Amino acid sequence: MTRRTASRRGTPPAEPKYWQLKTALTDALDAEFSVGQVLPDERTLAARFGVARATLRQALDQLELEGRLQRRRGVGTTVAPPRVGVDVSPARQTWPGAEDDPWSVDGFAVAGAPPVVAHALGVPRGTALPVVSRALVAEGQPVAVERLYALPSPEPADGVADADEALAALRRQPLEGQDRSVELGSADAEQAGALDRLPGSPVLLVTTRYGAAGRVAAVSLATYRADTCRLTFGDQPLALTAS
Amino acid sequence: MTRRTASRRGTPPAEPKYWQLKTALTDALDAEFSVGQVLPDERTLAARFGVARATLRQALDQLELEGRLQRRRGVGTTVAPPRVGVDVSPARQTWPGAEDDPWSVDGFAVAGAPPVVAHALGVPRGTALPVVSRALVAEGQPVAVERLYALPSPEPADGVADADEALAALRRQPLEGQDRSVELGSADAEQAGALDRLPGSPVLLVTTRYGAAGRVAAVSLATYRADTCRLTFGDQPLALTAS
DNA sequence: CAGTGGTCTAGACCACAGC
DNA sequence: CTGTGGTCTAGACCACTGG
């Protein structure tokens, strides 16, 4: 196959191979595969489509990014289930750790504030803060991890000793407001381990600021698996879910 | 921590090269580069770090995903400015096209509903619907495009003729609620063109359902550039933005 | 152990921007 | 035209999972 056989001036738009591959695979996924089914291995697929493995992988990368596929080293590539919806509405004005909070506490430490947290809380960089680590599981799968940084509470002598104490200290203050932001990021080694992904996997980074006593009293950095999660918010008054 | 059977051979941690590269580049970016500055070209960088260009590109891909870099074919790689915050709060309960709506109308058509839209609106797949195309510009850059699908309004004979009419028809109904969801996607060719990116670029896909008359009356599919955008929502009562 | 996906190399050519 | 990033190849080896 000499490239660009280009009989006549042909090749008008020149659509990349990996893009055509992705389209072909998407169609095949819709038509011939069911959730959980394992695909042929990459070398076989590449041969079948007549491309190099790197090119095929470019197409698979995209499909994994879109949540259509799930790849596991040593195991294989499987068809992914639809993304799970996770409610992140700031509407229910409650502190973390409230009654029906689905997050589970995972650890506690006193550590230096990362720059972004220090900035949000208005403290110098590296200030020692109580940090609560939490995790969220949905449908049997870990979907998010969180680090919650609290401003040292004024009332107990100083310093809380564990996660429950830290959360209780927050709850003693009236919550005046909260806001969130969502952006794309990539998992560091630690997050990747907790989320059962490889480092560098795409994640949705949700930053929450909790307001109390006229200032930001706590900041949470939550990391959601971008391949398996769909974040929802707003009043969901309309029941239209069945297929 | 991990085992690494003390084989005495070199590579104890086995951290991928592209990961180390990414770290090194991140540090260099923080220390020695300013926003807008152009980096050396990929071949030069690869040689400087002693790796293949493909490996270097793996590191650059990650940094671009995280919004640290911006690459343009034929031009070069530049240091990206911080992401712009875009408010997507569903709190201001208004229809699209209200007074201070920053979106600009871009086009109008009557077209078949894609499956996801048909499902949300509860109509058969392919049903012809009025579609308003809009675009959002922030800080001089296109950051998002949108397709707004409306249920045909009952009152005018049938069918609206242009975008203004379609939006006006929506505004005549009382808005009862709205919810949104955010997930990761990749830009198709058309969206990529409008957003000044290549097809397949990572985007944040925001789906909005507008409720009126006890059912979903309109659905919007908005596509935000994931590299340049940070979506915000919630009451932002706390002014803490300066560096 | 064999088989999977993950990393890496050293090339090549293509598409586009700008001179 | 030159120089940039984007695509593609045909290999190789590594890290992990499972029988």
DSSP characters for B120-141?
Answer: HHT--TT-EEEEEEEEEEETTE
**Is B162 part of any domain?**
yes
User: Do A56 and A89 fall into the same domain?
Assistant: no
Q: How many Å apart are CA B87 and CA B79, to the nearest integer?
A: 24
Counting runs of H as helices and runs of E as strands, what totals does chain A give?
6, 10
- What 3-state class would DSSP assign to A182? strand
CATH code for position A212 = 3.40.1410.10
The residue ranges of DSSP E strands in B19-138, in sequence order, are 69-72, 76-79, 84-87, 104-112, 128-138
User: Do A93 and A202 fall into the same domain?
Assistant: yes
Q: Considering its fold, how many domains does chain A have in total?
A: 2
Helix (H) or strand (E) holding A189: helix A189-195
Check residue A13 and give its pLDDT: 53
Tell me the Cα Rg of chain B: 23
What residues have CB less than 8 Å from A70, skipping those under 6 apart? A64, A77, A78, A79, A80, A227
B124-144 tens-digit pLDDT:
988 999 999 999 999 989 999
Check residue B91 and give its pLDDT: 75
Q: Which domain holds residue B143?
A: 84-232
User: Do A26 and A103 fall into the same domain?
Assistant: no
Check residue B24 and give its pLDDT: 97
pLDDT at A12 over 70: no
Nucleotide nearest to B15 (CA to C1'): C7
User: Do B103 and B186 fall into the same domain?
Assistant: yes
Please give the structure tokens belonging to residue A86.
């996770």
Q: How many Å apart are CA A231 and CA B151, to the nearest integer?
A: 25
**Is A204 part of any domain?**
yes
B100-122 tens-digit pLDDT:
899 999 999 999 999 999 999 99
User: Do B92 and B195 fall into the same domain?
Assistant: yes
User: Do B44 and B105 fall into the same domain?
Assistant: no
User: Of A140, A144, A118, whose CA–CA distance to A131 is shortest?
Assistant: A118
Q: Which residue is nearest to nucleotide C8 (CA to C1')?
A: B55
pLDDT at A158 over 80: no
Q: How many Å apart are CA B116 and CA B207, to the nearest integer?
A: 10
Of the listed ranges A91-100, A157-166, A175-184, B43-52, the one predicted with least confidence: A157-166
Which among A120, A178, A215 has CB closest to B234?
A178
User: Do B23 and B136 fall into the same domain?
Assistant: no
Q: Which of B184, B221, B241 to mutate to test the interface with A (most CBs of A within 10 A)?
A: B184
**Is A7 part of any domain?**
no
What residues have CB less than 8 Å from A11, skipping those under 6 apart? A4
User: Do A100 and A205 fall into the same domain?
Assistant: yes
A172 CA – D3 C1', rounded, Å? 62
**Is B4 part of any domain?**
no
Backbone φ and ψ for B229, nearest 5 degrees, come out as -115, 145
User: Do A164 and A50 fall into the same domain?
Assistant: no
User: Do A45 and A128 fall into the same domain?
Assistant: no
Q: How many Å apart are CA B208 and CA B224, to the nearest integer?
A: 13
Q: What is chain B's pLDDT, residue by residue, as a tens digit (243 residues)?
A: 333 333 333 334 578 999 999 999 999 999 999 999 999 999 999 999 999 999 999 999 999 999 999 999 999 999 999 999 999 998 777 899 988 899 999 999 999 999 999 999 999 988 999 999 999 999 989 999 999 999 986 655 456 778 999 999 999 999 999 999 999 999 999 999 999 999 999 999 999 999 998 899 999 999 999 999 999 999 876 654 433
**Is B137 part of any domain?**
yes
User: Do A62 and A89 fall into the same domain?
Assistant: no
B148-174 tens-digit pLDDT:
999 986 655 456 778 999 999 999 999
CATH code for position A55 = 1.10.10.10
Domain-ending residue, one of B79, B113, B131: B79
Which among B176, B226, B235 has CB closest to A184?
B226
**Which 79-108 residues of chain B touch chain A by CB within 8 A?**
83, 85, 90
A1 CA – D4 C1', rounded, Å? 28
State mean pLDDT over A19-42: 96
